Structure 1
Amino acid sequence: MSVRLELARALVGQQRVEDAAVEYARALQLGEQDAATWIEFGRFAREQHRDPRGAELAFRKALELAPNSAEAHGCLGLALFDLADFEGASAELQAALSLGPRDAPWRGDAENVLVLAHLRMREKGR
């Protein structure tokens, strides 16, 4: 783990979101190129930085590195839901649910958002 990544985490803990975004970007530029780091950055982008488009890109990068990651598929599904891409969200959440363990702590949330995505798709079809 890089010093930049540790610093980014510390800055998040201090609610210094903009500074944390800079440090995450530096960590990724300096070689933190594993799927787990991209997922962590994507979660930060979505939840702290309120950047669903940046989160989407980070989760897609994670999936390039780990195409069978249930976590990355689930996180991408949530980001796509935030972006009102309900069909994309549905596909990614279904992938996460099929790949992930039955006792995954995120399973209930993924199932709930999947139902919401289907409802939104039906509403758009009207």
Structure 2
Amino acid sequence: MPSQKFDAPGAPKPVGLYPHARKAGNLLFLSGIGPRNPETNGVPGLEQSASGNYTAFDFEAQCHAVFQNVHKVLEGSGARWEDLVDVTVFLTDMKRDFHTYNRIYAEYFKDNQPCRTTVGIDSLPTPIAIELKCIAVLPD
């Protein structure tokens, strides 16, 4: 089965050699998407001193930004938010962030409720606290 890859305009650039999404049949697989700002490559809600220490951390800002980035990749790949059927969430601090994430997730998914898995991990490849991996089903 041939597949088609997508690099979505307006979404943050991948941090490696992979597309934002790949379509196979009527399924759309999104690569892991974080909250980085597509224009500045900065992390919303995260500020660091010149020595690299964190001076501000706003997990809510990262949650909203990651959902906006997923939306941009979906649109850039010909899909809609409502087409999502599965979401895997990676959190770097489950104890600190899960309740905030769960509350914000409910705001975005009150109508469409895809399957969801939430995993606590040690770190991500950039200084972000959340990443999403999603699957959508495209209409015929």
Identify whether the pair has TM-score above 0.5, normalized to the shorter chain. no
TM-score for the superposition, normalised by structure 2: 0.28
* Higher strand residue share: 2
* Higher helix residue share: 1
Which structure would you say has the larger RCO, counting Cα contacts within 8 Å and 6 or more residues apart? 2
TM-score for the superposition, normalised by structure 1: 0.30
